[in-house]
Amino acid sequence: MKINLNMGTKLDKADLSTSRARLGWRAGYLFASFGIYMVDQMTKAWAVRTLRFGGDRTIIRGLLDFVYTENPGIAFGQLQESGSFGRWFFVALAVAAAVAVFFYFIKTPRTDDRVLGACALLLAGIAGNLTDRARFGYVIDFIVAHAGSWHWPTFNVADASISIGALLLAYDLIFERKKIGGLQKTVASGQ
């Protein structure tokens, strides 16, 4: 009985090259995520230096202003009176969210660019706001969008990254899964 040892080696090399390719694509998404994180941190540093002491800026009259704000709460300024406990609770919550998103990112197939991009955006935003909360006890917000008397809550680049990532993920979970479900039903019925 002959045993072909070369066959096992070829499989190992194929598995290794597939793993490297998978890691390479993920590294690209993580690199982009890091870039967004750095843009967030640089714009917040600019806001502290330029806007903190009354240097508000109107970018587009009636639509967009830059106004320095410290947000000790969560999204849209909720839970602002939570004190030191709230600060570290939100830090722990952000760490848990980042770990969950990263795990989902690792488990997502390479061909699912929308989900990989959404996870990269979510990771960048979570890390950006987590950095602020751990360093200062609050998140620096400075972008104010409004139309007439209607105002969107003040936000930052990390918030925008989280919002876009969440929308992409929601789109994928709602609409793309329906298409896959409908295709599976069609295939199962033989049509």
- Tens of pLDDT along 149-182? 888 889 999 999 999 999 999 998 888 765 555 4
Enzyme catalytic residues:
141, 159
Would you say 122 and 101 are in contact if contact means Cβ atoms under 8 Å apart? yes
Q: How many domains does the chain have?
A: 1
Q: Is residue 43 part of a domain?
A: yes
The runs of H, that is alpha helices, within the chain are 5-51, 83-107, 113-136, 157-171, 177-189
Residue 110 has pLDDT above 90, yes or no: no
Q: Is residue 24 part of a domain?
A: no
Q: Is the pTM of this model over 0.85?
A: no
Q: Is residue 9 part of a domain?
A: no
Mean pLDDT value across the chain: 81
Q: Is residue 87 part of a domain?
A: yes
Domain boundaries, position 152: 31-186
Q: Is residue 70 part of a domain?
A: yes
Q: Is residue 11 part of a domain?
A: no
Q: Is residue 2 part of a domain?
A: no
Q: Is residue 4 part of a domain?
A: no
Alpha-carbon gap, residue 119 to 113, rounded angstroms: 10
Alpha-carbon gap, residue 142 to 35, rounded angstroms: 19
